[in-house]
Structures are given as C-alpha cells and as structure tokens.
Structure 1
Amino acid sequence: MVLLGTLANVAAIIVGALAGKVLSGIPEGIKKTVMHGLGLAVIILGLKMSFESKNYLLMIISLVIGTILGELIQIEDRLNQVGKWLEKKLGGKEGGIANGFVTATLVYCVGAMAVLGSLDSGLRGNHEVLYTKSLLDGFSAVIFASTLGIGVLFSAIPVLLYQGSIALLATQINQFAGEDLISAMLVELTGVGGLLIIAIGINVLGLLKIRVANMLPSLFIAAFGVPVVTWLTKLLGS
C-alpha cells in the first residue's frame, strides 16, 4: 500500500499530540529547556543536510526564487489563517492553536525525511524512512503539544496531504526520469531542505522570526532545477 508509511506518520502525530495535551502539567522550566534542546537538534540536522548539496549556486538561486514565490503566494499567512479558523471552531485562545499548528506543520513537512520517505514509498513501496520519521514525530509531538497546545494535532492533516501527494506522484516519476537524475534531484532537495530546517530551529529557539513557510517553494525549485542545469551543461559543452 503506497500510503502506509504516511498513515503511520499521521497516526504517530495524533497519538503524540494527545499524549502531550494530557501531560500539559509539565513544569514550564522543563518544557522551555526541552524545546531549546529540540531547537538545537533541529539546527544540527539542518546543517548536516545542507552540506549534502553538490551545487551551492543552485541552492542559493532556489532559495531566492522560491522565497519570492512563497512571499507572493503568502503561504505562511494562509497557514496562519487555517490555524485561526481552527481556533474559532474550537474556542482556543488567540494565537495558541495557530502557533502550534504552523510550527508543527513546518517541522513535520519541511525536510528530507518527509520528501525522501514519501518518494521511497511511491517508487519502491519501502516505508522504512517514514516509519522512522513516525517515531521521531510522535515523540516531538508530545513535547510540542504540551508546550504549544492542541494545534499540533491538526498538523497531521497537511502531513497527510503533503506526504500522500508526493507518494502518489512518485509512482509516476519513473516514466519521466532515470534513476541517476532522481538521485541528483533528491540531493539538491535535501540541501535546500536543510537550510529551511535550520531556520525552523532558529524559530524554535526564539532567536528570530523567520517566515519559513514562504520558503517552501525553494524545495521544488531545487529539485526541478537539476534537470535544467544538466540540460544547460550539455548544451554549453556541445
């Protein structure tokens, strides 16, 4: 089943968020320190991923073009609107549900594991990456929900739509691209994803407020920029 890994991920987030809500009585000092620890771990993961890029010029171009597109579309504002709509429906305090929803959505959707795992599910029917991601997301959901509130639970919805769509589309990729090209695209996507994850870590630590959601198109620019660069290189070399 193509969506098995994604469904396991969604279930882990829901269970973790509910557990975190039950454990909301954790002392604020512990929550704050644990969140700082998660922020540092996220930054280290992002650094490791970003160093995998083989074409830093493409990484920079992808980030610039993707961010401009994201700002024009106003992705982050739209995510916040969804969070605020949930607040009105559930009667949560202002900013509470939206903050948890947006933060968790970004953490769970931006990154190599979400994309690579979904592609692996679609291309090979292998769900190991998403099963591993499910464990990580489930544990982090406990912390996020106990700190940021029940909005974290609703991040399971975009995770289902995002990862599920990638997995389903991946079943058709082999018809258009070879294995080498797909591998190269994943490398550059991982590199740009690492930069976005670093930005998420900075947000979690409260050092800056980076509009990471508006940078999401950079992932697709990086991936589809690889065949363009390959074509230009062959054209100029001939």
Structure 2
Amino acid sequence: MPIGIITNVCAILFGGIAGALGGEIMSDSFKEGLNMTFSLCSICMGIYAIAPMKNLAAVVFAVILGTSLGIIFHLGKAINRGAQGMQHFISKFINAPSEMDQVTFETTLVTVIVLFCASGTGIYGTLTEGINGDATILISKSILDFFAAVIFGANLGAVVSLIAVPQIIILTIIFSLANFIVPLTTPDMILDFKATGGVLMLASGFRITKIKMFPTADMIPIMIVIMPISWLWTNVIVPLIH
C-alpha cells in the first residue's frame, strides 16, 4: 500500500475543499497575500532543488529540448483542455469564483496542476517509495501541498481538489515503474532530475504572481528527457571532451 501517495493525494483533496469552504470568508487582500507567499515558497524550493545539480549543460539542454517537445506536441493546450473539463464538471455542483475572469482562472489552474502533478520532489519521492517503501519524502511534501491546496482552493474554488485525480494516476504509474527505473539511474542523474524539477518550480513561482507566464505545462517533458541526457553527458560527452 503506497502510504506516501495516499497521503499526498488526500492532502490535495482535503486542502482544496478546505480552501474552497474558507475562501468565502477570506478577504481578497488576505488571499492575494497567501498567493504571493506561496509563489515565493515555490521559487525558494526551486532554487534549493537546482543547487546540488551535477551537470549544468545536461540540465540546460533538457530544459530546451523538453520544452520544445511540449510546444511541438501542444502539451500545454491538452492540459488546458483537461483543466477546462475539470472546471466544467465541478461547476455543475459549485460555482467558480465570480471575481476571477475565465482566462486568469484557467491559466492559474494549469499552473497548479503542473505544480502538484509534475513536481520533481513528488516524482522522486514516489520512486523512492516504490523501490524501498520509504514514504518520508512524500509525507513531508504532503504537509506543504495541503497548505498550498488551501491557498489555491481559496482563489480557484473546489476544482483544486479534483487535481487529486490526475495526481493519483500519475504517481501510481511511477510507483509501479520504480523497480525498473531506479536501477538504471545514478546519483548524478537523480540530482540532475531534481534540478529540472526545480526549474519547473521556479517557472511556476514566477507564473503564479504573473511576473512571467512561462509555458509550464509545455515544460513537463523536461522531466522525461533529463535522465537519458544526463547519462549521455556523463558517460559519452565528458570522456570525449577530456
């Protein structure tokens, strides 16, 4: 039983509901302040994840290649359609926040989906639990995710809790593949992988407060291409250079 995954999913589910229920009694300035605070937290976590990386060139190449693939295959548009579907479903039961225009609502929701479902810490924590049963990383992440879901739930409404659905699907697949993936990795590859997750968190932090609207959904493939690129850089390119 993947305890860490269940804990993390429940944190999103109940945090989103709590935020939606409490959002009506929160002032706009309070919600905006919380939003800016979480943006800062996301940026700080991104910097923390990037700092230990081993191969800067591999990470940079992965970011460029992965984002290019996402844009070519219109991944961002696909995720945006999914976000719209989630909103339409929940609007049958609960109205979306009336003070937020549709475009802002959808772009913010896409940012939150990426933040919860494509986190480097979340994926790494799932791999760790899948290989040795240690749920510590995911449980620790769940604490932060709960309060993040409350913040976003207060702004976006109960639709935030529905992000638990794609999240549990993605993490369960990764959990099932852990025994195949982890033996193929090295410590350096893991550090580079976490660094690309940090890049996504940085981009999400800037996007949350509209400093710069990075295409975070289109950037998701960087989490897939970084492992082979890191391996090629360490085992093929570096020996050629030296």
Instruction: Give yes or no for TM over 0.5.
Output: yes
Q: Does 1:169 find its partner at 2:168?
A: no
Summarize the Cα distance change of 1:96–1:203 in structure 2 as closer, same or farther, 3 Å threshold.
closer
CA distance in 1, matches of 2:53, 2:170: 23
Deviation at 1:236, TM superposition (A): 3.5
Partner residue in 2 for 1:6: 5
* C-alpha contact 1:97 1:150 (8 A) present in aligned 2: no
What secondary structure does 2:217 align onto? helix
The aligned residue for residue 127 of structure 1 is: 135
TM-align CA RMSD: 2.1
* SS at 2:71 equivalent: helix
Mark the runs of 5 or more structure 1 residues left unpaired by the alignment. none
Confirm or deny: 8 A CA contact 1:70 1:214 kept in the other structure: yes
Question: Residues 126-163 of structure 1, C-alpha deviation per residue, up to 9 Å, x if partnerless?
Answer: 11111111111111111110012222111111211222
Match of 2:41 in 1: 41
In 1: Cα distance, 2:238 partner to 2:218 partner = 33
- 2:53 aligns with 53
**Per-residue CA distance 1:176-227 (angstroms, 9 max, x = gap):** 52xxx43222100111111111110001111121111101111121112122
Cα pair 1:100 1:149 within 8 Å, conserved = no
Which of 113, 117, 124 is matched with 2:125 structurally?
117
Q: TM-score, normalised by structure 2?
A: 0.88
1:31 maps to which residue?
31
Partner Cα separation in structure 2 for residue 131 and residue 165 of structure 1? 18
Distance apart, 1:4 and its partner CA:
2.2
Conserved? CA contact 2:127–2:178, under 8 Å:
yes
Q: 1:139 to 1:231 in 2, by over 3 A?
A: same
1:96 Cα deviation after fit = 7.2
Distance 1:151 1:237, change over 3 A: same
Match for residue 183 of structure 1?
Answer: 187
Match of 2:209 in 1: 205
Q: Determine the C-alpha separation between the residues in 1 that align with 2:178 and 2:57.
A: 27
CA distance in 1, matches of 2:152, 2:81: 20
**Comparing 103-112 and 206-215, the one that deviates more:** 103-112
Distance change (3 Å), C-alpha of 1:59 and 1:15? same
Give, as a single letter, the amino acid of the residue that structure 2 aligns with 1:182.
Answer: T
**Contact 2:111/2:216 (<8 A) preserved:** no
Among the aligned pairs, what percent are the same residue? 24
- TM-score between the two structures when normalised by the length of structure 1: 0.90
Q: 1:153 to 1:224 in 2, by over 3 A?
A: same
- Pairing of 1:219-230 with structure 2 (within 5 A): 219-230=223-234
CA positional deviation for 1:235:
6.4
Aligned AA (2:130): G
Give the superposition deviation at 1:111.
2.7
Gaps of 5+ in 2: 97-101
Counterpart residue number, 1:152: 160
Q: Distance in 2 between matches of 1:38 and 1:191?
A: 19
Conserved? CA contact 1:112–1:189, under 8 Å: yes
Cα distance change, pair 236–131 in 1 and its aligned pair in 2 (3 A):
same
Distance 1:237 1:64 in 2: 22
The amino acid of 1:205's aligned partner reads T
C-alpha distance in 1 between matches for 2:87 and 2:152: 17
